[in-house]
Amino acid sequence: MLKVANVSKSYPTPRGPLPILEDVSMSLDRGQSAAIMGPSGSGKSTLLYIIGALEPPSSGSVSLDGVDPWTLTEVRQAAFRNERVGFVFQDHLLLPQLTALENVLTPALVRPQGVTPEVRERGRQLLEQVGLADRAEHRPAELSGGERQRVAIARALIGAPVLLLCDEPTGNLDRTSAAGVADLLLDLHRNLNTILLVVTHSPALAERFGRRFELDSRRLAS
């Protein structure tokens, strides 16, 4: 289970703390999906980064299967992110000099066992699942926007994460490509039984998820 309890976030400024989130709480079980909507600047991405252990809360707690990543050492926290959480961003963030398969495998490079034959085979299987088996040796410049985002999704899943976090995953795509990426995310979520949490501005996309939250005035409402 993902549990967010009374999370608040503020940033220091010369005029005092600038509040971004106030007393945000939510929970999702394995196999559930949810969308977070809200106006630009409402703190949606900040909340996602706190949940994914990329940015600490000012107060409150986040736990995944009973583990609060912000209570861990830096080394264990990095391992938590790498092994338990998958990220998909609006900009795919692929490394241009690597092939699609090599990009998918990059999270495994920092693990003690590295890229084993089994991990490499899982990478190929994931590319097949996202419809890119024949593009494994292509570099990002040789792929369309939708294909690059599919590679990013495969990369996020290489470690078999419990939690998949997506920040505007279709925001840079045309309508057809966006629909295809949304279909893919939901299919993989169901097949892999992940917790799927997506930040989006698109009401049509949000309607496709099991739960919907609105973040406005620094607070979250379902």
Q: pLDDT (tens digit, 0 to 9) for every residue of the chain, 222 residues total?
A: 999 999 999 999 999 899 999 999 999 999 999 999 998 888 999 999 999 999 999 999 999 999 999 999 999 999 999 889 999 988 888 999 999 999 999 998 888 788 899 999 999 999 999 999 999 999 999 999 999 999 999 999 998 999 999 999 888 888 888 888 889 999 999 999 999 999 998 898 899 999 999 998 788 886
CA proximity to 32, closest of 204, 215, 192: 192
208 token code pair: 């496709």
CATH tag, 2-221? 3.40.50.300
pTM over 0.95: no
- Where in the chain are the domains? 2-221
The backbone region for 130, taken as left when phi is positive above 0, alpha when psi lies in -120 to 50, beta otherwise, is: alpha
For 62-129, what is the HEC assignment? EEECCECHHHCCHHHHHHHHHHHEEEECCCCCCCCCCCHHHHHHHHHHHCCCCCCHHHHHHHHHHHHH
